Structure 1
Amino acid sequence: MVVSVVILLLLANVHFSHGGCPEGYHAAGHLCLFFSEITGTWAEANSYCRTFSASLFEPNSDERQKAVVTALQTVPAPSHGEFFIGGSDFFVEGHWIWSTESVPVTNSHWLPGNPSDSNIGEDCMAVSAGGQWNDIACDRHLPFICETEPWGDVDIIG
């Protein structure tokens, strides 16, 4: 019995040592964010995140936007200046949606003058190191941000 309790306590310590997030992810509020060091197109980034049971980060609320802005202050700025995130308008130009549920983007943290589609075909969303959004070509190679849920809480009874 004592051994079981010690093992549970050790597991709980491992669980909470990363803020409830998988190795390599940053705890950001109630989120776990992974900031890639590799680059890829938006589709490649989306596929990479899904391979690891995650999705491209979607700042679809003010709380989530604040969480990513705070987390961006703790990671090195990418040399490209931006990370891909999970918004796009490639189905209908000018109608931005979040990719996981295809729901409209209703909050707005765009860089001034954006979305602009200035280079024709800027149908994917990126976030700057300062937290503002930019529309960008989907075939650009950028680092990206994946999100996943924190691990479930460990309940110790006894």
Structure 2
Amino acid sequence: MKCESNLTETLSKIKPCSTVQPTCPGPKVINDPCYKCEEGWEQHGGKCYYFSIRKSSWEQSRDECRAKGGDLVKIDSREEQSFLERKLRDVMTEAEDKFWIGLTDSAVEGRWVWVDGSPLNERLQFWSGIDPDNWKGHNGEHPDGEDCVRMGEKGGADDLKCWFDAFCSKPHRSICEKAAVKGQIKNVCD
């Protein structure tokens, strides 16, 4: 049974997909085929996403995601990038209103690594324009350059290319991710 919520559906609207048997010989637990996310998280492709409205540094954003049981988002497919790009397009209020993702080259300059330790796949990257350019600021006030990645393009991105390297200390909103869980329903008869 396929159970994909569309973007506007809230968790409360996902619940009806739970199959409750009309005849019921007594309390029993049945496996619910639907992926579940807790309130405030959005389900897509078996993952749960949390779009934080709090603006904080990349490290603080990551700490907040981990405190919620997830981590900053890792983008594993073009389809996932497409989902996120469309979603951000709708929630960004200005061009600079971008979101941190779980990608950084702070350990070794130019070697981009996801928060789970895996290297960035050369065939699956969505840099915008000349980025990453490791800009050091107008007067070189950021000698380490731009080591963290934010994404989003208010008007929509050409070919989904909307990743930008940025100073990790800059406050931005962020996208957290964790695995969705398949629920169980206890069927109790009247």
**TM-score band w.r.t. shorter chain:** 0.7 to 0.9
Q: Measure how far apart 1:78 and its partner are.
A: 5.0
Question: Post-superposition shift, 1:156?
Answer: 7.7
Distance across 1 between alignment mates of 2:74 and 2:53: 19
Matched, 1:122 2:146: yes
Partner Cα distance (1:70, 1:31) in 2: 16
Say whether residues 1:111 and 2:122 are aligned partners: no
Alpha-carbon separation, structure 2, partners of 1:29 and 1:138: 29
2:112 matched to 1:96?
yes
Q: 2:88 aligned to 72, 86, 105, which one?
A: 72
Tell me if the contact between 1:93 and 1:123 (Cα under 8 Å) persists in the aligned partners.
yes
Percent identical among aligned pairs is 26
Q: Give, in whole Å, the separation in 2 of the partners of 1:124 and 1:97.
A: 10
1:126-158: per-residue Cα shift (whole Å, max 9, x none)? 11144510000000000100001112243789x
Letter of the aligned partner of 1:145 in structure 2? I
Q: Secondary structure at the match of 2:60?
A: helix
Which residue of structure 2 aligns with residue 144 of structure 1? 174
| Residue deviations 1:10-61 (CA, integer Å, cap 9, x gap) | xx6xx95xx6111101122222111111111000000000001010011132
1:42 aligns with 2:58: yes
AA partner of residue 152 (structure 1):
K
User: Are the aligned partners of 2:27 and 2:186 in contact in 1 as well (CA < 8 Å)?
Assistant: no
For residues 62-107 of structure 1, give each alpha carbon's deviation from its aligned partner in whole angstroms, at most 9, with x where no partner exists.
232123223334x52155421001000001101101012x111112
CA contact (8 A) 2:97 2:173 kept: no
Q: Does 1:62 align with 2:62?
A: no
Q: Please, which of 39, 64, 67 is the counterpart of residue 51 of structure 1?
A: 67
Residue 2 of structure 1 and its aligned partner are, at CA, apart by 5.8
Structure 1 unmatched runs, 5+ = none
Contact 2:128 2:164 in 1 (8 A): yes
TM-score by length of 2: 0.68
Mapped contact 1:21–1:151 kept (Cα < 8 A):
yes
Which has the larger share of strand? Answer: 2
- Largest Rg, 1 or 2: 2
* Runs of 4+ that moved beyond 4 A: none
RMSD over aligned CA atoms reads 2.7
2:47 maps to 1:31: yes
